[in-house]
């Protein structure tokens, strides 16, 4: 029997594509979705964080939408800006430096041309300076990513963000001064009006509910006798497909590893509902690199689904071991939202919060190499670890679906 650990996007996708019913999904929580959950409160619809699908594969998109039935899905041309020095400029920053003050624009442009050319870099931070120069890096790229990852960027790999980093060559930056283009991986996205849980419901539609067990907390995996031990039972497996955090999997399998290699941050997300529409009626999200704001990003659900009351998600990054005083940061968030000009007299009438831990994993060459070595050990015992946390990588939700589908087809062909 295939045991699928986790009823999130990755686990449910594998079950959809494995083409057999000999599987059992074990989910620690009392409901499916993982981080792709939706909260409905006081007439507001919020997710655990901003979950928007940036489809590159029409086949995957149609598969999900077909299973949603009559659910209304909006297709959005992204509008995103950056708040810096009390002005808003378009995202991505490096393509829109001409929107800065004349002095800052000149500094960015001169530094872009005076930077030392190199074909290789030793860290993510070194890459930022090497590709974009001092001013672009220090005005946005470094401070924003330090707030996002809550770590020293010198500890991250050059390709820590992979294809999701909005690279731009000098020629592209200059051409954008006249022929505006803000293309990036998420320039178009889709979103169900009733929240990201609709993607989960679409994946559940083809599954047998009897093959899913909730409230199953795994306490040990015996890779030799092929037995999973939960708090209430023990289950024999032939294969495991799991999306739990990779370091947690190694612990459960009693595989020794260097804990320092697998670091991550955590993110506090505030969902905030107000009594009326706010000032900003165009942006879908805004980035905040400056330290004077406690958050690094604010998103506007109301501008995505065209609702008549301001509905925000606000994200704050923390180190893994930080203690978070939620009430303190909620109060500070409201102060900073007013400082940023996002709220101006609107009354907060509903709120919700969640701490995502882990949120963003810290990727470097050592962790990647160790992951490859440990996955060989696991796969020799028919244990396959997938997804953002299972494969310890930066990826999209669509990437998770494709990875799970490809694994299902691979294992089918091996039988």
3-state secondary structure of 30: coil
pLDDT band at 380 (very low <50, low <70, confident <90, very high): very high
**Residue 55 corresponds to which tokens in the numbers above?**
């489809």
The answer to whether 123 touches 146, Cβ cutoff 8 Å, is: no
Determine contact, residues 74/193, Cβ cutoff 8 Å: yes
Strand order across the beta sheet in which 239-242 lies? 212-213, 23-26, 2-5, 239-242, 383-385
Closest among 233, 272, 253 to 353, alpha carbons compared: 272
The pLDDT tens digits of the residues spanning 4-44 come to: 999 999 999 999 999 888 999 999 999 999 999 999 999 99
- The Cα–Cα gap between 370 and 224 comes to 21
Is there a contact between 265 and 245 (Cβ–Cβ < 8 Å)?
no
Residue 179: band (very low, low, confident or very high) from pLDDT cuts 50, 70, 90: confident
CB atoms within 10 A of CB 51: 21
What is the mean pLDDT of the segment spanning 172-191?
73
Task: Indicate whether 185 pLDDT > 70.
Answer: no
Q: What is the pLDDT of residue 97?
A: 94
Tell me which residue of 82, 80, 47 sits closest to 267, measured CA to CA. Answer: 47
b/e 269-288 (16+ beta carbons within 10 angstroms → b):
bbbbbbeebbebeebbbbbb
**Mean pLDDT, range 281-294, rounded to an integer:** 97
Q: Give me the residue label for tokens 């071991």.
A: 321
Q: What 3-state class would DSSP assign to 276?
A: coil
Contact 36, 47 (CB under 8 A): yes
What single DSSP character describes residue 361?
B
- Tokens at 259, concatenated: 């804990």
pLDDT score of 415: 65
| Backbone CA torsion sign across 372, 378, 382, 388 | negative
pTM, 2 dp: 0.93
Reduce the DSSP state of residue 275 to 3 states and report it.
coil
pLDDT for 369 beyond 70:
yes
Residue 182 has pLDDT above 80, yes or no: no
Taking the CA atoms of residue 400, residue 405, residue 408 and residue 411 in that order, the dihedral angle to the nearest 10 degrees is -90
Check: CB of residue 188 under 8 Å from CB of residue 78: yes
Residues, the chain: 415
Q: In 3-state terms, what secondary structure has residue 128?
A: helix
What digits encode the pLDDT tens for the residues 301-345? 999 999 999 999 999 999 999 999 999 999 999 999 999 999 999
Q: In this predicted structure, what is the pLDDT of residue 181?
A: 57
Query: Cα–Cα distance between 47 and 65 in angstroms, integer?
Result: 18
All residues at 6 or more sequence positions from 267 whose CB lies less than 8 Å from its CB, including other chains: 49, 315, 316, 317, 318, 355, 356, 357, 359, 360
* Mean confidence (pLDDT) of the chain: 93
- Reading the block at residue 390, the tokens are 């299972």
- For 357-380, what is the mean pLDDT? 96
Residue 159 pLDDT greater than 90, yes or no: no
The two three-digit tokens of residue 397, written as one number = 């939700």
Residue range 144-149: average pLDDT?
97
In 168-323, beta strands by DSSP E: 188-192, 212-213, 218-222, 227-230, 234-236, 239-242, 265-274, 285-287, 297-300, 311-319
What domains does the chain contain, in order, with CATH numbers?
2-38+55-72+193-262+362-414 (3.50.50.60), 98-173 (no CATH), 265-356 (3.90.660.20)
Confidence of residue 186 (pLDDT cuts 50, 70, 90): low
The helix (H) or strand (E) run that includes residue 203 is helix 197-204
Percentage above 70 pLDDT, the chain? 98
Q: pLDDT-based confidence at 180, cuts 50/70/90?
A: low
**Are 400 and 387 within 8 A, CB to CB?**
yes
Q: Radius of gyration over alpha carbons of the chain, in Å?
A: 22
Which residues have C-beta within 8 Å of that of residue 402, sequence separation ≥ 6? Answer: 57, 60
Confidence of residue 178 (pLDDT cuts 50, 70, 90): confident
* Residue range 223-271, pLDDT digits in tens: 999 999 999 899 999 999 999 999 999 999 999 999 999 999 999 999 9
pLDDT at 282: 96
In 10 A of CB 233, how many CB atoms?
10
Question: What pLDDT shows up at residue 165?
Answer: 82
Per-residue CA distances from 186 to 23, 84, 100, 122 (Å): 34, 21, 23, 27
The predicted pLDDT at position 322 comes to 97
Q: Give the tens place of pLDDT for each residue, 80-138.
A: 999 999 999 999 999 999 999 999 999 999 999 998 878 889 999 999 999 999 999 99
What is the mean pLDDT of the segment spanning 200-213? 95
Q: Note the pLDDT tens digit of each residue in 391-412.
A: 999 988 899 999 999 999 999 8
């Amino acid at each position: 029997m295939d045991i699928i650990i986790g009823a999130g996007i990755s686990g449910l996708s594998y079950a959809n594509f494995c083409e057999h019913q000999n599987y059992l999904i074990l989910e620690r929580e009392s409901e499916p979705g993982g981080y792709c959950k939706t909260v409905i409160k006081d007439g507001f619809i919020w997710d655990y964080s901003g979950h928007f699908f940036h489809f590159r594969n029409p086949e995957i998109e149609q598969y999900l939408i077909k299973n949603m039935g009559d659910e209304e899905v909006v297709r959005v041309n992204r509008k995103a800006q950056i708040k810096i020095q009390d002005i808003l400029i378009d995202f991505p920053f490096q393509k829109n430096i001409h929107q800065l003050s004349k002095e800052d624009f000149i500094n960015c442009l001169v530094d872009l041309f005076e930077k030392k050319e190199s074909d290789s870099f030793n860290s993510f931070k070194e890459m930022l300076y090497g590709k974009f120069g001092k001013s672009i890096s220090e005005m946005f790229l470094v401070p924003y990513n330090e707030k996002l990852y809550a770590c020293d960027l010198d500890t991250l790999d050059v390709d820590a963000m992979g294809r999701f980093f909005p690279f731009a060559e000098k020629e592209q930056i200059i051409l954008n001064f006249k022929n505006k283009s803000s293309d990036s991986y998420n320039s178009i996205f889709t979103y169900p009006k009733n929240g990201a849980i609709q993607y989960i419901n679409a994946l559940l539609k083809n599954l047998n509910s009897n093959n899913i067990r909730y409230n199953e907390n795994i306490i040990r995996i015996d890779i030799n006798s092929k037995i999973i031990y939960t708090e209430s039972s023990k289950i024999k497996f032939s294969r495991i497909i799991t999306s739990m955090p990779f370091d947690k999997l190694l612990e459960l399998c009693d595989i020794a590893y260097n804990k320092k290699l697998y670091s991550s941050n955590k993110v506090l997300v505030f969902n905030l509902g107000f009594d009326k529409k706010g000032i900003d009626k165009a942006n879908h999200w805004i980035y905040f690199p400056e330290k004077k704001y406690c958050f690094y990003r604010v998103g506007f659900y109301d501008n995505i689904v065209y609702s008549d009351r301001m509905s925000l998600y606000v994200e704050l990054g923390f180190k893994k071991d930080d203690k978070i005083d939620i009430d303190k940061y909620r109060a500070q968030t409201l102060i900073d939202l007013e400082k940023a000009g996002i709220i101006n007299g609107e009354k907060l009438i509903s709120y919700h919060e969640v701490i995502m831990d882990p949120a963003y994993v810290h990727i470097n060459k050592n962790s990647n190499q160790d992951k490859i070595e440990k996955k060989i050990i696991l796969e020799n015992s028919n244990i396959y670890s997938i997804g953002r946390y299972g494969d310890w990588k930066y990826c999209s939700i669509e990437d998770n679906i494709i990875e799970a589908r490809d694994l299902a087809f691979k294992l089918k062909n091996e039988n």
